[in-house]
Structure 1
């Protein structure tokens, strides 16, 4: 959506996602290219590979903790929710100590249940956080998104307000696709024969993951997806790591309830299971 459409009667986002005029999520094409260019390096194959090993370690810790706690478990709460949040925070350059707060803000912004006042308060607080973080990294040489934005502000390629707006959109966009992992594992665990094949033939996993990701419905957007051009790489990396970690690390992983009893999200922009009860 560009500036020309702002005052016209066209199909747009849901009312609680409606942008203000000039919002960074709704620029004209030239500005969109300029803004995206400042952070593109973080979402290339090289940028994603930079966080792969740290992501694998974070995931191993989550799976180990779930196994130690013993079955049954809610796979969404134990692994599928926190892992994608950790990955987007790693890509953004958000320190580990701040991730829970970032997760809370994102959920409040994405939820339809709390009302506009709560959403806007969360958005302001997230914006203030990124303003401080980007300011601290202005002139730096880091490869995470906050550092890339700080460097771009330092070179006067974009304003601090633009950088903050883009950071907020990327963070929320990253959280909005967390439902993909829940949908993927629901699809897997309702097909035990596929799970067994993937356990027995790990070489077919990358192809299977690609097919699964293509078959899943896309998450409802917060606005035009700023990750749409780059997020296939982070999403695929997360999916491949999750399949390896859970199929190899939790032998016998299966649904603990009938498939029809798995509750799906309501009143939120993130699709997918609300909980995914599993045992092993």
Structure 2
């Protein structure tokens, strides 16, 4: 086993030349020391854990706190961004998280989410109709990948169509990297003000949407405040569309690189749900696959015997966990027929993604239609010309020129 470095490793790691590849440092860490100290751009040091067992432990063990981490971030600055982080589901632990999650799931049930599938399919068809009428090549990011989840999430929440482009810009800013402090704050202030007005309007004129449903829940249970509805709405907006938008484009690049597997799925549409789950495992949302660090509230021993002290910042590297050879046979290979697939793409434990089912529906319907309607779909530029978005914690493409 390699010796642990004496100094923290600078993070994030440099991106490799191909948009499909992960930084090689991640697999080297997982297959070596497995837990290493890293230094973030803001100068704070923390621990990166990379094996499946340890990453899952970080996600489910209550000694790894989201609330304490969010509170620490919020205490550094009295910004709206910091306050909102502290008030959001991702910034809560039980029992506060349990209370709020139960309330929101009353308005966001699995049955209600599945009922959205026909509307998602309609939106997919509308966007592909528009796309097929455009001159080629077409930028899939602009024409399809972004507008689909934006329209789905905005319709779900009850955001008017005229505001959807503005919402995407605000959401994009929220998910900026460490350098985008001013932009994040401006977007947060705008969103808090907008949702405050929208909640008041929905209270006066109810509609068939999630915000109205949350208002009804708050009327039955006054512990759900308008501020919490605002925080929930902003969380659903940012997490619910920016992630899926980037996954559509990134998944397609991986599929187009493996035509044999793509054609197998095209010939067997019933295999699509399993293929989407494999792409969720294999293609990470971020360089590490993890977004929200945790803070330890007590000493914790990990699988390699490493003991993390109380008060340690911990980053779970979901990307390497999802390729851990101890859990996934040939984990570094994309296998669209993979049967055993306990991936952590949607997290685990109490913070398992609230919108996981909706994301699967959008991805399934998007690729079902793309494969059916565009059998000769291909990149319009060499893959080497594709570029990842800059200044974003989400790993997505600036553009994706395609033709057919």
**Mapped pair 1:170 → 2:236:** yes
Give the structure 1 partner of residue 61 of structure 2. none
Q: Do the aligned partners of 1:110 and 1:268 also contact (CA within 8 Å) in 2?
A: yes
For 2:390, what is the secondary structure of its paired residue?
A: coil
Pairwise CA distance, 1:217: 1.0
Rounded to whole Å, the distance in 1 between the matches of 2:251 and 2:85 is 36
Rounded to whole Å, the distance in 2 between the matches of 1:31 and 1:105 is 27
**Mapped pair 1:119 → 2:119:** no
Q: Do the aligned partners of 2:246 and 2:397 also contact (CA within 8 Å) in 1?
A: yes
Rounded to whole Å, the distance in 1 between the matches of 2:67 and 2:273 is 40
Match of 2:129 among 64, 69, 83: 64
Rounded to whole Å, the distance in 2 between the matches of 1:190 and 1:29 is 43
Give the structure 1 partner of residue 29 of structure 2. none
Q: Do the aligned partners of 2:127 and 2:143 also contact (CA within 8 Å) in 1?
A: yes
**Mapped pair 1:221 → 2:291:** yes
Distance 1:97 1:113, change over 3 A: farther
Distance 1:123 1:222, change over 3 A: farther
Distance 1:17 1:264, change over 3 A: farther
Rounded to whole Å, the distance in 1 between the matches of 2:293 and 2:207 is 28
Match of 2:140 among 64, 72, 75: 75
Pairwise CA distance, 1:20: 3.6
Rounded to whole Å, the distance in 2 between the matches of 1:140 and 1:31 is 30
Pairwise CA distance, 1:195: 2.2
After TM superposition, the score normalised by the length of structure 2 is 0.61
Give the structure 2 partner of residue 138 of structure 1. 203
Distance 1:7 1:239, change over 3 A: closer
Give the structure 2 partner of residue 149 of structure 1. 214
Match of 1:24 among 63, 77, 87: 87
Distance 1:45 1:22, change over 3 A: closer
Higher relative helix content: 1
Distance 1:18 1:129, change over 3 A: closer
Tell which structure's C-alpha radius of gyration is larger. Answer: 2
Q: Do the aligned partners of 1:170 and 1:227 also contact (CA within 8 Å) in 2?
A: no
Distance 1:87 1:221, change over 3 A: farther
Higher relative strand content: 2
Pairwise CA distance, 1:236: 0.7
Name whichever of 223-232 and 22-31 sits farther off. 223-232
Pairwise CA distance, 1:158: 1.5
Distance 1:144 1:227, change over 3 A: farther
**How large is the RMSD of aligned CA atoms in angstroms?**
2.9
Match of 1:199 among 243, 266, 278: 266
Rounded to whole Å, the distance in 2 between the matches of 1:6 and 1:100 is 29
Distance 1:274 1:61, change over 3 A: same
Superposition map of 1:200-279 within 5 A: 200-219=267-286, 221=291, 228-279=352-403
Name whichever of 195-204 and 262-271 sits farther off. 195-204
Could you report, residue by residue, the CA deviation over 1:111-143 in whole angstroms, capped at 9, with x for unpaired residues? 249843332122111111111222233388766
Distance 1:185 1:159, change over 3 A: same
Pairwise CA distance, 1:17: 11
Count of residues paired in the alignment: 274
Give the structure 1 partner of residue 255 of structure 2. 188
Could you report, residue by residue, the CA deviation over 1:122-168 in whole angstroms, capped at 9, with x for unpaired residues? 21111111112222333887663211221233231222112212211
Q: Do the aligned partners of 1:108 and 1:119 also contact (CA within 8 Å) in 2?
A: yes
Name whichever of 28-37 and 211-220 sits farther off. 211-220
Rounded to whole Å, the distance in 2 between the matches of 1:39 and 1:235 is 17
Rounded to whole Å, the distance in 2 between the matches of 1:21 and 1:266 is 24
